Amino acid sequence: MSANHSHAANHGENPLRSHVIGFAISLALTFFSFGLVMSGVLASSTTLVVVVIAAAMQVFAQFHYFLHLDSSSTQRMNVMVLIYTIVIIAILVGLSLWIMYNTHIRMMPIPMAR
Amino acid sequence: MSSTTLTDHPESDHHLHDATENATFGFWLYLMTDCILFASLFATYAVLYQNTASGPGGPEIFDLPYVFGETMFLLVSAFTNGVAMSFVYKKDRQKAVFWLIVTALLGLGFIVMEVNEFIHLIGEGNGPDRSGFLSAFFGLVGTHGAHVSIGLIWMAVMIGQLLIKGVTPKVSSRLIRLSLFWHFLDIVWVCLFTVVYFFGVA
């Protein structure tokens, strides 16, 4: 990518092309999610499952098309660190919620005022 | 020849090339630790979001069309940032500066909307001191807003550097990291509107 000034984007893969694809996917998923929640056509539990899947797809699309993370060798360290971070986040968030919801369920309801 | 945000090095000098690669990897490590910071705040929100202390809950205070507006500002700014970077790679200073200004204005629009939302909530007595739910809400959304604000200051500095120094290897290298930061904030926002606003309303 060194000194080929104006020709840079005309050879091989155009970085803008990938950005347009990522933007279109993100836009479509955002419209879909907001539309689904605001219209309330599905039961709220079903809606939440669908919007979480849509969010996961959008995060994946943005990592892939905006940040260009993939399995190529130049990206290996970046991807490894990302996977490690996802494991830490899964432990941190998953176990926090597990502990706190169990604590909540096991607590006897306390009458607030008498 | 793949043009990538994480591995692109517009400079030809070998030393600077390595320096950019190391600095970008280091910045990526910082972003991953920032992910863990946000994950902690997300976990806090998930634990506390039903603890409204007989104050208002999500359905009473969240305005989804308004949040949709904020989302559009941030998403479009992530795209215009990509357009700006494509002109940085072409060493087209004028167009790079123009698209960075567009990006900064869209980011500013997002922050203005968010601050307006906060002022509105606090004015109605629903500030972070009202309940556990609102503390977690202000903590999480406010941390993201603080990141975007810092990103805007950084962007203003980089627009200045582009105008004064031009598209030098060092300036391009810094712009690559700013671009990573900006995309990262958009990714966090996708998780945020899903967890905070959708779970709060549905």
Q: What is the DSSP string of B37-57?
A: HHHHHHHHHHHHTT--TTS--
The residues near A77 (Cβ < 8 Å, ≥ 6 apart) are B25
Residue count (chain B) = 202
Angstroms from B119 CA to nearest CA on chain A: 24
Minimal Cα distance from A20: which residue of B? Answer: B79
Of A5-14, B4-13, B85-94, B181-190, the poorest mean pLDDT is in A5-14
* A:14-43 residues touching chain B, CB 8 A cutoff: 14-16, 19-20, 22-23, 26-27, 30, 33-34, 37-38
**Gap between the Cα atoms of B22 and B140, Å rounded:** 30
Interchain proximity B36–A89, CB inside 8 Å: yes
Rg (CA), chain B: 19
* Region B10-201: CATH code: 1.20.120.80
Q: Three-class SS of residue B181?
A: helix
Given a contact cutoff of 8 angstroms between Cβ atoms, the answer to whether B185 and A27 are in contact is no
What is the pLDDT at residue A110?
64
Assess contact for B155 and B100: CB atoms under 8 A: yes
Compare CB distances from B36 to A23, A51, A92 and report the shortest one's residue: A92
Question: Nearest CA of chain B to the CA of A42: how many Å?
Answer: 10
pLDDT of residue A5: 33
Name the band, by pLDDT with cuts 50, 70 and 90, for residue A9. Answer: very low
Closest residue of B to A61, CA-based? B187
Decide: B187 and A59 in contact? Cβ < 8 Å: yes
Q: Supply the mean pLDDT for chain B.
A: 89
Of the partner residues A66, A72, A88, the one whose CB lies closest to the CB of residue B78: A66
Q: Which of A5-14, A85-94, B88-97, B115-124 has the lowest mean pLDDT?
A: A5-14
Residues of A in contact with B29 (CB under 8 A): 81
Determine contact, residues B161/B174, Cβ cutoff 8 Å.
Answer: yes
Residue of A nearest to B176 (CA): A67
Closest CA to B73 of B145, B156, B176, B161: B145
Return the domain boundaries, chain B: 10-201
Chain-chain contact of A81 with B28 (C-beta, under 8 angstroms):
yes
How many angstroms separate the CA of residue B91 from the nearest CA in chain A?
6
Instruction: Return the residue matching tokens 């941030």.
Output: B74
- Cβ <8 Å between A19 and B39: no
Minimal CA–CA distance to B196: which of B109, B67, B75?
B67
- Give A10's pLDDT tier (boundaries 50, 70, 90): very low
Encode pLDDT of B26-57 as tens digits: 999 999 999 999 999 999 999 988 888 888 88
Q: In angstroms, how far is the first alpha carbon of chain B from the final one? A: 46
Output the pLDDT for position A39: 87
Runs of H (alpha helix) within A40-108:
44-61, 76-106
Task: Give the residue, B2 or B50, on which the prediction is more confident.
Answer: B50
Q: Is B201 helix (H, G, I), strand (E, B) or coil?
A: helix
Name every chain A residue with its beta carbon within 8 A of the beta carbon of B86: 9, 14-16, 19
Residue type present at position B5: T
Mean pLDDT confidence for B187-194: 94
Q: In chain A, positions 50-79, which contact chain B (CB-CB < 8 Å)?
A: 51-52, 54-55, 58-59, 62-63, 66-69, 72, 74-75, 77-78
Does the pLDDT of residue A37 top 70, yes or no?
A: yes
- Check if A84 contacts B (Cβ < 8 Å): yes
Distance in Å from the first CA to the final CA of chain A: 74
Distance CA A92, CA B157 (A): 36
- In this prediction the pTM is 0.86
Task: Determine the residue among A89, A98, A103, A112 to mutate to test chain B binding: the one whose Cβ has the most chain B Cβ atoms within 10 Å.
Answer: A89
Residue B54: predicted pLDDT: 82
Query: Nearest-CA residue of chain B relative to A8?
Result: B90
**A38's tokens:** 């605001």
Scored b (16 or more CB within 10 A) or e, A94-104 reads eebeeeeeeee
Q: Do A68 and B11 touch (CB under 8 A)?
A: no
